[in-house]
Amino acid sequence: MKRLIPILFSFLILCMSTHAQETMRVETKTFHSPDFPFDREIFICTPMFYDQRDQSEVDVVYVFDSQWRSHFALAYAILAECQNPAEDTVPFIVVGISSPTTPDYHRNNDFLPVPTNVTYQSKYYGNYENFKKFVREDVMTYINSNYRTSGHTLAIGHSLGASFILNSLASEELFDDYIALSPNFMEDNNLFADNFLNYDFSKSKPRFLFLTMSNESEEKWRSAWDLVKSKMEAATLPDNIKMFFKEYPEHTHMSGYAQCLMDILPVYGMYRQSTQISDSTRHPVHIELECPWAEGDVFITGNQEAIANWNPQGIKMTKVDEKTYAIDLNLQLPAEFKFTQGSWETQITPGNAYPMNLRISNPNNTTKHYIAQ
């Protein structure tokens, strides 16, 4: 509880300060879809200094069951606690997706497909494919079109929301990384467990997965959870797959949510500080640096041979006028780089990008104009 107090305090400060550009900002977007008998809200939290640091793309975290605003608020508050705008920490856009609970429609309709092996006695199931399409075609398209996104995504789901995101990995790799809290693997006679176990991680791009179970694992969910956990922990996974299982027997199905996020989101932030090149295609990029006080040559160096493999006296940029340097390159993505004048002691830090390694991740946004502090 003591660890939760600063997070809740941050949330209250945010609620009182969303008008200021230097703080996080929460916006609401309402979607109408013919696949649902209602309008659906999503919530979008942009990180501190998002407007000022307009040459940086940002990862997106999708939080399901955000009709319970605490799920959404906990995610962005914990991530904000992990971010220091003056240090090499990763900012995130956090998107909360709600699932209404009414007499005619339930969150289970979103998360449960039409069953294959059993017959449900409830009417609350079967809209899984439409919900998945809504997330992919409506929500993710809107976010990528209206915000500066890196193209890298994390999904956070709890209970059947966790089952949904893991099923979306098995069926179409909807997200890159997954935090699945208390997933119900036993649904439809263990079909959800089978779907996850049949996913071929040997052919996957780099992924981070964190799966938990609270004290519900002592009840009817235990056998399916044990099946998945034992098989995955015994499997030989590629080095680019980071998969963690953790049990919280001291927590209930609901109380474990906050503790799990507090445990794993700081770890995930550290994981995203160092990226791996995942695209063998070379993309044309144009990079400019505006630095009126620089004297002499300016170099760019970064995470691949085309930018000198972090040699501080890297690739010389062309001086195009009294204050601007430019270069055209063909780079693999994500490209990470810095500017120097020949040594790390003479590094040039832009003020309009987050102060980590500069990154180009999105192949649709490869022209950059940085302004030195």
Same domain? For 142 and 246 the reply is yes
Same domain? For 114 and 227 the reply is yes
Same domain? For 49 and 109 the reply is yes
The model's pLDDT over 44-87, given as tens digits with 9 standing for 90+, comes to: 999 999 999 999 999 999 999 999 999 999 999 999 988 876 66
Q: What is the mean pLDDT of residues 170-195?
A: 96
What CATH number corresponds to the domain at position 294?
Answer: 2.60.40.10
The model's pLDDT over 323-362, given as tens digits with 9 standing for 90+, comes to: 999 999 999 999 999 999 999 999 999 999 998 899 999 9
Same domain? For 260 and 285 the reply is no
For 343-364, b/e burial (b = at least 16 CB within 10 A) is eeebebebebbbbbbbbbbbee
Same domain? For 162 and 83 the reply is yes
Q: What is the mean pLDDT of residues 113-121?
A: 90
Residue 324, domain extent: 279-371
Same domain? For 190 and 295 the reply is no
The model's pLDDT over 205-261, given as tens digits with 9 standing for 90+, comes to: 999 999 999 998 666 789 999 999 999 999 999 999 999 999 999 999 999 999 999
Q: What is the mean pLDDT of residues 261-283?
A: 90
pLDDT bin (cut points 50, 70, 90) of residue 15 is: very low
Q: What is the mean pLDDT of residues 91-98?
A: 97
Question: Strand 279-290 to strand 315-316: parallel, antiparallel, or no bridges (unpaired)?
Answer: unpaired
Structural domain ending residue among the three candidates 216, 244, 271: 271
Same domain? For 267 and 298 the reply is no
Same domain? For 341 and 198 the reply is no
**Cα–Cα distance between 129 and 113 in angstroms, integer?**
7
**Cα–Cα distance between 320 and 337 in angstroms, integer?**
20
Look at residue 17 and tell me whether its pLDDT is greater than 50. no
**Cα–Cα distance between 218 and 81 in angstroms, integer?**
33
How many domains does the chain divide into? 2
What CATH number corresponds to the domain at position 12?
Answer: 3.40.50.1820
Q: Would you state the pLDDT for residue 19?
A: 43
Look at residue 2 and tell me whether its pLDDT is greater than 50. no
